[in-house]
A = this chain, B = another copy of it.
Amino acid sequence: MSMIQPLPPYLVQRFHGWHATGYQANRSWYRRLAEDGQRPRAMVISCCDSRVHVTSIFGADSGEFFIHRNIANLVPPFTPDGEQHGTSAAIEYAVTTLHVAQLIVMGHTNCGGVDACHEMCSGHAPDLEASTSFVGRWMDILRPGYERVKDLPAERQIPALEEQAVAISLENLMTFPFVSAAVESDQMTLHGLLHDIGTGGLRQYDGERFTAV
């Protein structure tokens, strides 16, 4: 394919810089990770958003977190219909093959996907309702959340929908038989978090509300 381009020079430079420092300082661990395979303690489901860095805020080393990132950190309901479900595949692999001990869903404020969902569900984004809109169909997962927040005062709806993106994903997770089995047998714990981009704050979900950690 002739349209593939070489890496821009500034990224080449930065890579070589990392290799000479971060990699060298930790090279025995990287080598062991390659030889023995990964054994992450947790799976994190977070958003693709460029402002969300779960490894930074938790000071995570290589090998600690198995991370799936999609638009708005959503988990669809269990649907074993033989079709391609990337999120479900990641969860299945983490729980049944890697046996992670924690499964964390981390949402965030100022989420473009949540905004788009609110626009769509409130009737202001007809484009997203087209069957050909990948973003629209993906955000359908959060429609039940919109039903729960639509009667709140206008300025409260988006923040509440950001919370719902975590709550509904946790609810959907429990529809996966291998997830509920692992949780019920204490093989794995579930956690819900909401990260504030501007203040850097972190709130956690207890099944009813979000409070600062």
Contact = CB atoms under 8 A, between A and B. Distances in A.
Interface of A: 1-41, 43, 48-51, 53, 55-71, 74, 76, 80-94, 97, 99, 101-102, 104, 109-110, 112-113, 131-135, 137-141, 170-171, 174, 182-184, 186-193, 196-202, 204-207, 213
Contacts of A13: 17-18, 21-22, 59
- Tell me the dominant secondary structure on chain A's binding face: mixed
B58 A11 contact: yes
A164 B57 CA distance: 33
A28 B187 contact: yes
A38 to B, nearest CB: 5
Contacts of A201: 19
Contact of A186 (B28, B86, B110): B28
Contacts of A202: 15, 19
Contact of A89 (B61, B70, B85): B70
Contacts of A133: 92
Nearest to A23: B200
Interface centre among A48, A102, A184, A207, by most B CB within 10 Å? Answer: A48
